Amino acid sequence: MGKEKEIVYVDKSGKRLDGRKADELRPIKIKVGVVPNADGSCYLEWGYNKVVAAVYGPKEALPKHRADPYGANVNYYYRMASFSVSDRKNPRPGRREIEISKVSGEALKAAIFTEQFPNTNIDVYVEIFDSNAGTRIAGLTAASLALVDAGIPMRGIVAGCTVGKAGGHILVDLTKEEEDAPDAVDIPLAIIPETEEIVLLQMDGLLKKEEWDKAVQMGIAGCKQILELQKKALSKKFEGFPVQEIASDLRSESKKEEIKE
């Protein structure tokens, strides 16, 4: 048998397997306010990933013994649909989903003014319908927008991006093929971009110091690109909002109150 052909993850022209540059993100589509019965929601397509996030709360913390008198509990539920991967997945949450739920919930809690909502729960549900690398960051990005859509006060929008290594190159937003490279390193990273405060950072693999420095810089730059897309998605939801009419109605109401007095 002949020797298997070595995969070139970045060619001489600087293009990756899917034609992107090293610091280029996959195509992203975001829509806010897609679940009518939720307090806030978001649908996100990131490459081949498809995610829906929904937020319920703040609401009374039940059972009572879990209530925190100093702030809200942020309960994050990350789940992958049985059909989201090529091999049918067990519908019950596995260890990976439980771990992602924990770290993602902690990332969001760092951005929320939880102290304003003592003895309450904020429930965040993230469902992955199609999976192709970077689902925890895609879910967190969608969940952050769902929280904004729910009107929950935050220190800033949480924006995430993966960065890593494949074929000796530091790359942003790895695909499944790049994550499976022999020297692959995968780093999910999430920040509050306005302050560059890191709220989630994990790493699977090893990097040299100079590679790490480059990866972090590229990752933060990727997060800031995501923030701009998040802002556009939020702005689009409120396009055509009749601000002048509402202002006029408010003035009319104030005049009515003056006449009554």
The 3-state secondary structure of the chain reads CCCCCCCCCECCCCCECCCCCCCCCCCEEEEECCCCCCCEEEEEEECCEEEEEEEEEEEECCCHHHCCCCCCEEEEEEEECCCCCCCCCCCCCCHHHHHHHHHHHHHHHCCECHHHCCCEEEEEEEEEEECCCCHHHHHHHHHHHHHHHCCCCECCCCEEEEEEEECCEEEECCCHHHHCCCCCEEEEEEEECCCCEEEEECCECCCCHHHHHHHHHHHHHHHHHHHHHHHHHHHHHCCCCCHHHHHHHHHHHHHHHHHHC
Check residue 241 and give its pLDDT: 63
- Please state the CATH superfamily assignment of the domain spanning residues 28-234 in this structure: GHMP Kinase, N-terminal domain (3.30.230.70)
Check residue 259 and give its pLDDT: 44
The structure tokens listed for 119 are 């003895």
Cβ–Cβ contacts within 10 Å for residue 155, how many? Answer: 14
Buried/exposed 92-128: b ≥16 CB within 10 Å, e otherwise: eeeeebeebbebbbebbbbbbebeebebbbbbbbbbb
Closest CA to 124 of 176, 51, 64, 63: 51
Check residue 244 and give its pLDDT: 52
pTM: 0.88
Domain boundaries, the chain: 28-234
Tens digit of each residue's pLDDT, the chain (261 residues): 445 677 899 999 999 999 999 999 999 999 999 999 999 999 999 999 999 999 999 999 998 999 999 999 999 999 999 888 878 877 788 899 999 999 999 999 999 999 999 999 999 999 999 999 999 999 999 999 999 999 999 999 999 999 999 999 999 999 999 999 999 999 999 999 988 899 999 999 999 999 999 999 999 999 999 999 999 999 988 776 655 554 545 455 444 444 444
